[in-house]
Amino acid sequence: MTTAKIALRTASALFLLGLSLLLLSQTHQLVPSVQGSTRTIHLVGYYPTGWNNSNPTITVQQGDSVTIDLSSGDAAPHQFLLDLDSDGVNDQSNCPPNSSPTDDPCSMIFSGSGTTSLTFTVNSAGSFTYYCTIHHPYMTGTFIVQGPGFSMVSTPSSLTIVQGSSSTSTITLSSERGFTGTVSLTSTAPPGGPTAIVSPMSINVSPGPPTTATLTVSTTPSTPFGSYAVTINGASGSTTNMTTVSVTVVIPGFSIASSPSSLGVIQGVSSNSSTITLASLNGFSGTITLGSTVSQSGLSLSFSPGSVTISSGGVGTSILTVSTSTTPPGFYTATTSGMSGSTTNTTTVNISVTIPDFSIRTSLPTLSITQGSTATTTITLTSLSGFSGTLTLTGSVSQPGPTVTFSPASVTLPSGGIVKSNMTISAAGRTYQVATGSYPVTVTVTNGTLTHSTTVEVNVGSVPSGLPLTLLVGAGVAIVAAAGITIYLVRRRAARSPQP
Protein backbone atom coordinates (compact mmCIF):
# COMPACT_ATOMS: atom_id res chain seq x y z
CA MET A 1 0.00 0.00 0.00
CA THR A 2 1.39 3.38 -0.99
CA THR A 3 1.81 6.33 1.28
CA ALA A 4 -0.72 8.28 -0.75
CA LYS A 5 -3.40 5.65 -0.20
CA ILE A 6 -2.75 5.61 3.58
CA ALA A 7 -3.03 9.38 3.72
CA LEU A 8 -6.24 9.27 1.70
CA ARG A 9 -7.84 6.70 4.01
CA THR A 10 -6.77 8.61 7.15
CA ALA A 11 -8.27 11.82 5.78
CA SER A 12 -11.51 9.99 4.98
CA ALA A 13 -11.74 8.59 8.53
CA LEU A 14 -11.16 12.00 10.07
CA PHE A 15 -13.82 13.49 7.80
CA LEU A 16 -16.38 10.88 8.81
CA LEU A 17 -15.59 11.40 12.51
CA GLY A 18 -16.01 15.14 12.19
CA LEU A 19 -19.26 14.73 10.30
CA SER A 20 -20.67 12.42 13.00
CA LEU A 21 -19.83 14.93 15.69
CA LEU A 22 -21.67 17.65 13.79
CA LEU A 23 -24.75 15.47 13.44
CA LEU A 24 -24.89 14.61 17.16
CA SER A 25 -27.65 16.35 19.20
CA GLN A 26 -26.98 18.61 22.15
CA THR A 27 -26.38 15.73 24.61
CA HIS A 28 -22.68 15.79 25.58
CA GLN A 29 -22.11 12.40 23.91
CA LEU A 30 -18.43 12.43 24.81
CA VAL A 31 -19.59 11.03 28.20
CA PRO A 32 -20.58 7.32 28.10
CA SER A 33 -24.35 7.06 27.80
CA VAL A 34 -26.49 5.74 30.63
CA GLN A 35 -29.97 4.44 29.99
CA GLY A 36 -32.52 6.89 31.44
CA SER A 37 -36.13 7.96 31.27
CA THR A 38 -38.05 10.98 30.05
CA ARG A 39 -38.64 13.83 32.48
CA THR A 40 -40.75 16.96 32.02
CA ILE A 41 -40.24 19.90 34.37
CA HIS A 42 -42.36 23.07 34.51
CA LEU A 43 -40.71 26.34 35.51
CA VAL A 44 -42.46 29.71 35.76
CA GLY A 45 -40.35 32.84 36.02
CA TYR A 46 -41.02 35.42 38.73
CA TYR A 47 -38.75 38.31 39.54
CA PRO A 48 -37.42 38.70 42.21
CA THR A 49 -38.91 35.68 44.05
CA GLY A 50 -37.39 33.18 41.63
CA TRP A 51 -38.41 30.28 39.46
CA ASN A 52 -41.75 28.95 40.73
CA ASN A 53 -41.38 31.59 43.48
CA SER A 54 -38.86 29.39 45.32
CA ASN A 55 -36.03 28.33 42.94
CA PRO A 56 -36.67 24.62 43.63
CA THR A 57 -33.91 22.02 43.59
CA ILE A 58 -34.33 19.83 40.51
CA THR A 59 -33.17 16.20 40.68
CA VAL A 60 -32.88 13.91 37.67
CA GLN A 61 -31.05 10.68 36.87
CA GLN A 62 -28.01 10.42 34.68
CA GLY A 63 -29.12 9.55 31.15
CA ASP A 64 -32.59 11.12 31.53
CA SER A 65 -34.06 13.04 28.60
CA VAL A 66 -35.23 16.26 30.24
CA THR A 67 -37.79 18.67 28.81
CA ILE A 68 -38.23 21.96 30.63
CA ASP A 69 -41.44 23.88 29.87
CA LEU A 70 -40.88 27.59 30.51
CA SER A 71 -43.27 30.49 30.96
CA SER A 72 -43.28 33.96 32.48
CA GLY A 73 -45.46 34.46 35.55
CA ASP A 74 -44.80 38.19 35.85
CA ALA A 75 -44.86 39.09 32.11
CA ALA A 76 -41.18 40.08 32.35
CA PRO A 77 -38.62 38.61 29.93
CA HIS A 78 -36.70 35.52 31.15
CA GLN A 79 -34.10 33.14 29.76
CA PHE A 80 -33.19 29.72 31.24
CA LEU A 81 -29.55 28.55 31.34
CA LEU A 82 -28.21 25.30 32.83
CA ASP A 83 -24.51 25.62 33.59
CA LEU A 84 -23.10 22.13 33.02
CA ASP A 85 -19.51 23.18 32.41
CA SER A 86 -19.27 25.48 35.46
CA ASP A 87 -18.29 28.56 33.47
CA GLY A 88 -20.95 30.72 35.15
CA VAL A 89 -23.96 32.66 33.99
CA ASN A 90 -21.89 35.31 32.28
CA ASP A 91 -21.01 32.93 29.45
CA GLN A 92 -24.22 33.64 27.54
CA SER A 93 -22.59 32.91 24.24
CA ASN A 94 -24.08 29.41 24.75
CA CYS A 95 -27.58 30.82 24.28
CA PRO A 96 -29.50 31.09 20.99
CA PRO A 97 -28.78 31.95 18.33
CA ASN A 98 -25.14 31.09 19.19
CA SER A 99 -25.65 27.68 20.85
CA SER A 100 -23.94 24.53 19.58
CA PRO A 101 -24.32 20.80 20.40
CA THR A 102 -21.66 21.05 23.09
CA ASP A 103 -22.98 24.20 24.78
CA ASP A 104 -24.85 24.44 28.07
CA PRO A 105 -28.63 24.04 27.59
CA CYS A 106 -30.10 27.52 27.12
CA SER A 107 -33.58 28.63 26.06
CA MET A 108 -34.91 31.43 23.91
CA ILE A 109 -35.89 34.62 25.72
CA PHE A 110 -39.61 34.50 26.57
CA SER A 111 -41.98 37.00 28.18
CA GLY A 112 -45.64 37.93 28.53
CA SER A 113 -47.93 35.02 27.82
CA GLY A 114 -45.42 33.33 25.59
CA THR A 115 -43.96 29.91 26.40
CA THR A 116 -41.01 27.91 25.22
CA SER A 117 -39.41 24.57 25.98
CA LEU A 118 -35.93 23.12 26.08
CA THR A 119 -35.01 19.44 25.68
CA PHE A 120 -31.63 17.88 26.46
CA THR A 121 -30.08 14.67 27.78
CA VAL A 122 -27.95 14.71 30.96
CA ASN A 123 -25.07 12.27 30.85
CA SER A 124 -22.85 13.96 33.43
CA ALA A 125 -23.59 13.23 37.08
CA GLY A 126 -23.07 16.01 39.61
CA SER A 127 -24.56 19.14 41.11
CA PHE A 128 -25.04 22.09 38.75
CA THR A 129 -26.65 25.54 38.75
CA TYR A 130 -29.49 26.87 36.63
CA TYR A 131 -30.16 30.59 36.10
CA CYS A 132 -32.28 33.21 34.54
CA THR A 133 -29.64 35.04 32.53
CA ILE A 134 -31.59 38.27 32.89
CA HIS A 135 -32.43 38.20 36.63
CA HIS A 136 -29.59 36.38 38.34
CA PRO A 137 -28.71 36.12 41.22
CA TYR A 138 -32.40 36.27 42.22
CA MET A 139 -33.49 33.49 39.89
CA THR A 140 -30.88 30.79 40.62
CA GLY A 141 -31.39 27.15 41.59
CA THR A 142 -29.65 23.78 41.97
CA PHE A 143 -29.86 21.06 39.35
CA ILE A 144 -28.73 17.61 40.58
CA VAL A 145 -27.93 14.76 38.24
CA GLN A 146 -27.73 11.44 40.05
CA GLY A 147 -25.50 8.87 38.44
CA PRO A 148 -25.55 5.11 38.93
CA GLY A 149 -24.70 4.15 42.49
CA PHE A 150 -25.37 1.74 45.30
CA SER A 151 -27.04 1.87 48.69
CA MET A 152 -25.62 0.50 51.95
CA VAL A 153 -27.71 -0.58 54.96
CA SER A 154 -26.53 -2.16 58.24
CA THR A 155 -28.75 -4.66 60.07
CA PRO A 156 -28.85 -4.33 62.99
CA SER A 157 -27.68 -0.75 63.06
CA SER A 158 -26.78 -0.94 66.76
CA LEU A 159 -24.89 -3.57 68.77
CA THR A 160 -24.49 -4.10 72.51
CA ILE A 161 -21.31 -6.04 73.28
CA VAL A 162 -20.01 -7.31 76.61
CA GLN A 163 -16.34 -6.61 77.30
CA GLY A 164 -14.28 -9.47 75.91
CA SER A 165 -16.86 -10.64 73.35
CA SER A 166 -17.92 -9.79 69.78
CA SER A 167 -21.02 -9.33 67.66
CA THR A 168 -21.92 -8.94 63.97
CA SER A 169 -24.01 -6.79 61.67
CA THR A 170 -25.01 -7.55 58.08
CA ILE A 171 -24.11 -4.91 55.48
CA THR A 172 -26.52 -5.01 52.53
CA LEU A 173 -25.55 -3.35 49.20
CA SER A 174 -28.12 -2.74 46.46
CA SER A 175 -27.68 -1.38 42.93
CA GLU A 176 -29.31 1.98 42.19
CA ARG A 177 -29.99 3.44 38.74
CA GLY A 178 -28.48 0.46 36.95
CA PHE A 179 -25.15 0.47 38.78
CA THR A 180 -22.85 -2.46 38.05
CA GLY A 181 -19.39 -2.72 39.55
CA THR A 182 -17.09 -3.96 42.26
CA VAL A 183 -17.36 -2.17 45.60
CA SER A 184 -14.41 -2.12 48.00
CA LEU A 185 -15.43 -2.15 51.66
CA THR A 186 -13.50 -0.75 54.62
CA SER A 187 -14.45 -0.25 58.26
CA THR A 188 -13.29 2.36 60.75
CA ALA A 189 -13.62 2.29 64.55
CA PRO A 190 -12.53 4.95 67.06
CA PRO A 191 -9.00 4.48 68.47
CA GLY A 192 -8.93 2.70 71.80
CA GLY A 193 -12.36 1.22 71.26
CA PRO A 194 -13.58 -2.02 69.70
CA THR A 195 -12.04 -3.42 66.49
CA ALA A 196 -14.12 -3.80 63.33
CA ILE A 197 -13.54 -6.07 60.32
CA VAL A 198 -15.76 -6.35 57.25
CA SER A 199 -15.77 -9.50 55.15
CA PRO A 200 -15.50 -9.82 52.22
CA MET A 201 -13.60 -6.60 51.59
CA SER A 202 -14.64 -6.53 47.94
CA ILE A 203 -18.09 -7.33 46.61
CA ASN A 204 -19.79 -7.26 43.19
CA VAL A 205 -22.99 -5.23 42.95
CA SER A 206 -25.38 -5.29 39.99
CA PRO A 207 -29.10 -4.75 39.30
CA GLY A 208 -31.19 -7.47 40.87
CA PRO A 209 -31.03 -9.06 44.32
CA PRO A 210 -28.83 -7.22 46.85
CA THR A 211 -25.51 -8.58 48.04
CA THR A 212 -24.24 -8.71 51.61
CA ALA A 213 -21.08 -8.54 53.68
CA THR A 214 -20.56 -9.17 57.40
CA LEU A 215 -19.18 -6.65 59.87
CA THR A 216 -17.61 -8.22 62.97
CA VAL A 217 -17.03 -5.95 65.97
CA SER A 218 -14.79 -7.34 68.72
CA THR A 219 -13.80 -6.17 72.20
CA THR A 220 -11.21 -7.23 74.77
CA PRO A 221 -11.69 -7.45 78.55
CA SER A 222 -9.98 -4.05 78.76
CA THR A 223 -12.01 -2.23 76.10
CA PRO A 224 -13.48 0.83 77.87
CA PHE A 225 -17.23 0.63 78.28
CA GLY A 226 -19.26 3.28 76.47
CA SER A 227 -20.71 4.13 73.07
CA TYR A 228 -18.82 4.02 69.76
CA ALA A 229 -19.67 4.61 66.09
CA VAL A 230 -18.23 2.18 63.54
CA THR A 231 -18.23 3.46 59.94
CA ILE A 232 -18.38 1.15 56.91
CA ASN A 233 -17.30 2.80 53.63
CA GLY A 234 -17.97 1.49 50.16
CA ALA A 235 -16.16 2.75 47.05
CA SER A 236 -16.28 1.89 43.37
CA GLY A 237 -14.17 4.38 41.46
CA SER A 238 -15.57 7.81 42.25
CA THR A 239 -18.89 6.38 43.45
CA THR A 240 -19.00 6.06 47.22
CA ASN A 241 -21.46 5.43 50.03
CA MET A 242 -21.33 4.60 53.71
CA THR A 243 -23.31 3.33 56.68
CA THR A 244 -22.70 3.34 60.41
CA VAL A 245 -23.24 0.89 63.28
CA SER A 246 -23.66 2.17 66.82
CA VAL A 247 -21.77 0.01 69.31
CA THR A 248 -22.30 0.01 73.07
CA VAL A 249 -19.69 -1.79 75.15
CA VAL A 250 -20.97 -2.96 78.54
CA ILE A 251 -19.29 -4.51 81.57
CA PRO A 252 -20.47 -7.82 83.03
CA GLY A 253 -22.11 -7.16 86.37
CA PHE A 254 -25.01 -8.03 88.61
CA SER A 255 -28.09 -6.38 90.08
CA ILE A 256 -29.04 -6.52 93.75
CA ALA A 257 -32.49 -5.92 95.24
CA SER A 258 -34.19 -6.36 98.63
CA SER A 259 -37.74 -7.58 99.24
CA PRO A 260 -39.35 -6.29 101.31
CA SER A 261 -37.37 -3.09 101.37
CA SER A 262 -38.88 -2.01 104.72
CA LEU A 263 -38.81 -4.00 107.97
CA GLY A 264 -40.14 -3.51 111.49
CA VAL A 265 -38.45 -5.04 114.55
CA ILE A 266 -39.36 -4.88 118.26
CA GLN A 267 -36.58 -3.99 120.65
CA GLY A 268 -35.40 -7.13 122.42
CA VAL A 269 -38.44 -9.15 121.36
CA SER A 270 -38.42 -10.01 117.66
CA SER A 271 -36.34 -10.12 114.47
CA ASN A 272 -37.33 -9.72 110.83
CA SER A 273 -35.86 -10.63 107.46
CA SER A 274 -35.62 -9.49 103.84
CA THR A 275 -34.70 -11.54 100.76
CA ILE A 276 -31.65 -10.23 98.87
CA THR A 277 -31.87 -11.18 95.17
CA LEU A 278 -28.78 -11.07 92.93
CA ALA A 279 -29.12 -11.40 89.14
CA SER A 280 -26.48 -11.75 86.43
CA LEU A 281 -26.16 -8.85 83.98
CA ASN A 282 -24.30 -8.84 80.66
CA GLY A 283 -23.09 -12.41 81.05
CA PHE A 284 -21.68 -12.05 84.57
CA SER A 285 -20.79 -15.23 86.44
CA GLY A 286 -18.98 -15.55 89.75
CA THR A 287 -19.22 -15.47 93.55
CA ILE A 288 -20.70 -12.41 95.24
CA THR A 289 -19.80 -11.67 98.87
CA LEU A 290 -22.44 -9.84 100.92
CA GLY A 291 -21.81 -7.17 103.55
CA SER A 292 -23.83 -4.51 105.33
CA THR A 293 -23.60 -1.19 107.13
CA VAL A 294 -26.28 0.38 109.31
CA SER A 295 -26.95 3.96 110.37
CA GLN A 296 -27.40 3.07 114.09
CA SER A 297 -25.39 0.90 116.45
CA GLY A 298 -27.20 -1.90 118.23
CA LEU A 299 -28.86 -3.31 115.12
CA SER A 300 -27.62 -6.80 114.30
CA LEU A 301 -27.58 -7.84 110.62
CA SER A 302 -26.65 -11.26 109.26
CA PHE A 303 -26.81 -13.05 105.88
CA SER A 304 -27.59 -16.65 105.10
CA PRO A 305 -25.61 -17.56 103.06
CA GLY A 306 -22.91 -14.90 103.33
CA SER A 307 -21.87 -15.36 99.67
CA VAL A 308 -23.82 -16.33 96.55
CA THR A 309 -22.49 -17.88 93.34
CA ILE A 310 -24.44 -17.20 90.15
CA SER A 311 -23.91 -18.32 86.57
CA SER A 312 -24.24 -16.27 83.39
CA GLY A 313 -27.87 -15.22 83.14
CA GLY A 314 -28.63 -16.76 86.55
CA VAL A 315 -30.20 -15.56 89.81
CA GLY A 316 -29.28 -16.22 93.46
CA THR A 317 -30.71 -15.20 96.86
CA SER A 318 -29.63 -14.69 100.46
CA ILE A 319 -31.70 -13.93 103.59
CA LEU A 320 -30.87 -10.75 105.53
CA THR A 321 -31.96 -11.04 109.18
CA VAL A 322 -32.28 -7.91 111.36
CA SER A 323 -32.58 -7.97 115.17
CA THR A 324 -31.95 -5.60 118.07
CA SER A 325 -31.77 -5.59 121.85
CA THR A 326 -30.97 -2.01 122.85
CA THR A 327 -31.43 0.12 119.74
CA PRO A 328 -33.59 3.17 120.57
CA PRO A 329 -36.95 3.36 118.83
CA GLY A 330 -36.71 5.11 115.45
CA PHE A 331 -36.17 4.71 111.73
CA TYR A 332 -32.83 3.47 110.37
CA THR A 333 -31.26 2.42 107.04
CA ALA A 334 -29.25 -0.73 106.43
CA THR A 335 -27.10 -0.75 103.27
CA THR A 336 -26.41 -4.17 101.77
CA SER A 337 -23.45 -4.44 99.40
CA GLY A 338 -22.53 -7.22 97.00
CA MET A 339 -18.88 -7.49 95.95
CA SER A 340 -17.18 -9.63 93.31
CA GLY A 341 -13.67 -8.51 92.46
CA SER A 342 -13.86 -4.86 91.48
CA THR A 343 -17.59 -5.04 90.81
CA THR A 344 -19.78 -3.70 93.61
CA ASN A 345 -23.49 -2.99 93.86
CA THR A 346 -25.75 -2.00 96.76
CA THR A 347 -29.35 -1.97 97.94
CA THR A 348 -30.99 -0.52 101.08
CA VAL A 349 -33.51 -1.74 103.64
CA ASN A 350 -35.43 0.74 105.79
CA ILE A 351 -35.78 -0.48 109.41
CA SER A 352 -38.30 0.69 111.98
CA VAL A 353 -37.44 -0.14 115.63
CA THR A 354 -40.23 -0.09 118.22
CA ILE A 355 -40.40 -1.05 121.93
CA PRO A 356 -43.06 -3.27 123.61
CA ASP A 357 -45.84 -1.04 124.86
CA PHE A 358 -49.57 -0.85 125.57
CA SER A 359 -52.36 1.63 124.97
CA ILE A 360 -55.14 2.77 127.31
CA ARG A 361 -58.65 3.79 126.29
CA THR A 362 -61.81 4.61 128.23
CA SER A 363 -65.28 3.81 126.93
CA LEU A 364 -66.77 7.02 128.40
CA PRO A 365 -64.47 10.02 128.59
CA THR A 366 -67.14 11.91 130.60
CA LEU A 367 -69.39 10.70 133.46
CA SER A 368 -72.34 12.53 135.10
CA ILE A 369 -73.62 11.40 138.53
CA THR A 370 -75.68 12.86 141.38
CA GLN A 371 -74.75 13.10 145.02
CA GLY A 372 -75.12 9.75 146.70
CA SER A 373 -74.88 7.70 143.45
CA THR A 374 -72.27 5.82 141.37
CA ALA A 375 -71.29 5.45 137.67
CA THR A 376 -69.08 3.00 135.78
CA THR A 377 -66.85 3.18 132.68
CA THR A 378 -64.69 0.50 131.04
CA ILE A 379 -60.91 0.86 130.74
CA THR A 380 -59.50 -1.08 127.73
CA LEU A 381 -55.80 -1.98 127.63
CA THR A 382 -54.20 -3.19 124.35
CA SER A 383 -50.79 -4.83 123.80
CA LEU A 384 -48.49 -3.00 121.34
CA SER A 385 -45.28 -4.32 119.72
CA GLY A 386 -45.50 -7.65 121.54
CA PHE A 387 -45.92 -6.25 125.06
CA SER A 388 -46.95 -8.71 127.79
CA GLY A 389 -47.07 -8.27 131.56
CA THR A 390 -49.07 -7.31 134.65
CA LEU A 391 -50.67 -3.86 134.72
CA THR A 392 -51.80 -2.02 137.85
CA LEU A 393 -54.63 0.51 137.61
CA THR A 394 -55.03 3.48 139.98
CA GLY A 395 -57.24 6.54 139.92
CA SER A 396 -56.72 9.96 141.48
CA VAL A 397 -58.77 13.13 141.85
CA SER A 398 -57.07 16.52 141.99
CA GLN A 399 -59.23 17.65 144.97
CA PRO A 400 -61.41 15.94 147.57
CA GLY A 401 -64.33 14.54 145.66
CA PRO A 402 -65.62 11.25 144.26
CA THR A 403 -63.88 7.98 145.07
CA VAL A 404 -62.42 5.72 142.39
CA THR A 405 -62.23 1.91 142.40
CA PHE A 406 -61.25 -0.67 139.73
CA SER A 407 -62.46 -4.19 139.21
CA PRO A 408 -60.00 -5.78 138.80
CA ALA A 409 -57.31 -3.36 139.94
CA SER A 410 -54.57 -5.51 138.40
CA VAL A 411 -54.72 -7.30 135.04
CA THR A 412 -52.38 -9.52 133.01
CA LEU A 413 -52.02 -8.44 129.39
CA PRO A 414 -50.79 -11.11 126.94
CA SER A 415 -48.66 -10.28 123.86
CA GLY A 416 -50.97 -9.00 121.14
CA GLY A 417 -53.98 -9.20 123.49
CA ILE A 418 -56.64 -6.93 125.03
CA VAL A 419 -57.91 -6.80 128.63
CA LYS A 420 -60.55 -4.66 130.39
CA SER A 421 -61.21 -3.31 133.87
CA ASN A 422 -64.31 -1.51 135.17
CA MET A 423 -63.75 1.84 136.89
CA THR A 424 -66.50 2.87 139.34
CA ILE A 425 -66.96 6.47 140.48
CA SER A 426 -68.88 7.06 143.75
CA ALA A 427 -70.18 10.43 144.99
CA ALA A 428 -71.07 10.44 148.70
CA GLY A 429 -74.35 11.93 149.91
CA ARG A 430 -76.06 12.69 153.27
CA THR A 431 -73.80 14.17 155.92
CA TYR A 432 -70.53 13.95 153.99
CA GLN A 433 -71.92 14.53 150.55
CA VAL A 434 -69.56 15.43 147.70
CA ALA A 435 -69.87 18.98 146.53
CA THR A 436 -71.38 19.47 143.12
CA GLY A 437 -68.99 20.32 140.29
CA SER A 438 -66.52 18.90 137.75
CA TYR A 439 -63.76 16.53 138.85
CA PRO A 440 -60.97 15.35 136.47
CA VAL A 441 -60.13 11.76 137.40
CA THR A 442 -56.67 10.59 136.27
CA VAL A 443 -56.45 6.90 135.45
CA THR A 444 -52.86 5.61 135.66
CA VAL A 445 -51.71 2.18 134.42
CA THR A 446 -48.18 1.00 135.27
CA ASN A 447 -45.83 -1.89 134.54
CA GLY A 448 -42.52 -1.29 136.22
CA THR A 449 -41.17 1.95 134.77
CA LEU A 450 -43.65 1.92 131.89
CA THR A 451 -46.61 4.17 132.67
CA HIS A 452 -49.57 5.51 130.69
CA SER A 453 -52.53 7.56 131.84
CA THR A 454 -55.81 8.98 130.65
CA THR A 455 -58.38 11.37 132.12
CA VAL A 456 -62.11 10.92 132.74
CA GLU A 457 -64.16 14.04 133.45
CA VAL A 458 -66.71 13.42 136.29
CA ASN A 459 -69.58 15.87 136.75
CA VAL A 460 -71.38 15.64 140.17
CA GLY A 461 -74.88 17.10 140.40
CA SER A 462 -77.41 17.56 143.24
CA VAL A 463 -80.64 15.57 143.78
CA PRO A 464 -83.15 16.90 141.21
CA SER A 465 -86.08 17.73 143.70
CA GLY A 466 -84.03 19.69 146.10
CA LEU A 467 -85.61 17.80 149.16
CA PRO A 468 -83.46 16.01 151.67
CA LEU A 469 -82.75 12.50 150.61
CA THR A 470 -84.30 11.06 153.89
CA LEU A 471 -87.63 12.73 153.16
CA LEU A 472 -87.71 11.36 149.67
CA VAL A 473 -87.00 7.86 150.93
CA GLY A 474 -89.65 8.13 153.68
CA ALA A 475 -92.29 9.37 151.22
CA GLY A 476 -91.57 6.50 148.95
CA VAL A 477 -91.94 3.97 151.76
CA ALA A 478 -95.29 5.50 152.84
CA ILE A 479 -96.68 5.33 149.33
CA VAL A 480 -95.72 1.67 148.98
CA ALA A 481 -97.28 0.82 152.38
CA ALA A 482 -100.57 2.57 151.56
CA ALA A 483 -100.83 0.74 148.27
CA GLY A 484 -100.32 -2.57 150.06
CA ILE A 485 -103.05 -1.93 152.67
CA THR A 486 -105.53 -0.94 150.00
CA ILE A 487 -104.99 -4.13 148.05
CA TYR A 488 -105.42 -6.22 151.28
CA LEU A 489 -108.77 -4.65 152.23
CA VAL A 490 -110.20 -5.11 148.74
CA ARG A 491 -109.35 -8.81 148.68
CA ARG A 492 -110.78 -9.39 152.21
CA ARG A 493 -114.11 -7.80 151.33
CA ALA A 494 -114.38 -9.86 148.26
CA ALA A 495 -113.84 -13.01 150.32
CA ARG A 496 -116.73 -12.22 152.75
CA SER A 497 -119.37 -11.48 150.12
CA PRO A 498 -122.10 -14.27 150.05
CA GLN A 499 -122.11 -16.55 146.99
CA PRO A 500 -125.33 -16.43 144.90
Confidence of residue 379 (pLDDT cuts 50, 70, 90): very high
Q: What is the mean pLDDT of the chain?
A: 86
Look at 389 and 299; give whichever has higher pLDDT.
389
What class is the 357-461 domain? mainly beta
Q: Do domains 149-250 and 357-461 have the same CATH topology?
A: yes
* Lowest model confidence (mean pLDDT) among 34-38, 74-78, 140-144, 318-322: 34-38
Task: Using alpha carbons, select from 349, 267, 357, 279 the residue that is nearest to residue 313.
Answer: 279
Question: What single DSSP character describes residue 106?
Answer: B
The reported pLDDT for the residue numbered 428 is 87
pLDDT at 23 exceeding the cut of 60: no
pLDDT tens profile 96-111: 887 665 678 999 999 9
Which CATH code for domain 149-250? 2.60.40.10
Rg (CA), the chain: 54
Task: Using alpha carbons, select from 125, 127, 90 the residue that is nearest to residue 106.
Answer: 90
The reported pLDDT for the residue numbered 156 is 97
Q: What percent of the chain has pLDDT over 70?
A: 85
pLDDT tens profile 433-453: 888 999 999 999 999 989 999
Average pLDDT over residues 286-303: 89
Q: Which are the contacts of 5, defined by CB distance < 8 A and separation ≥ 6?
A: none
Strands (E), 223-329: 226-236, 239-250, 253-259, 262-266, 271-281, 286-294, 299-304, 307-310, 315-324
Residue 84: CB atoms within 10 A of its CB come to 22
| Domain boundaries defined on the chain | 38-146, 149-250, 253-354, 357-461
Q: Which residues of 258-270 are buried (b: 16+ CB within 10 A; e: fewer)?
A: beeeebebbbebb
pLDDT at 244 exceeding the cut of 80: yes
* Lowest model confidence (mean pLDDT) among 29-43, 134-148, 256-270: 29-43
Which CATH code for domain 38-146? 2.60.40.420
Rounded to 5°, the CA angle 352-358-363 comes to: 130
Q: Which CATH architecture has domain 253-354?
A: Sandwich (2.60)
* Lowest model confidence (mean pLDDT) among 10-19, 224-233, 304-313, 410-419: 10-19
* Lowest model confidence (mean pLDDT) among 25-34, 95-104, 254-263: 25-34
Look at 64 and 484; give whichever has higher pLDDT.
64
Average pLDDT over residues 132-141: 94
pTM assigned to the model:
0.54
Residue type, 45: G
H or E segment and range at residue 178: none
Contacts 24+ apart (CB under 8 A), 255-258: 255/279, 255/281, 255/345, 256/336, 256/338, 256/345, 256/346, 256/347, 257/347, 258/320, 258/336, 258/347, 258/348, 258/349
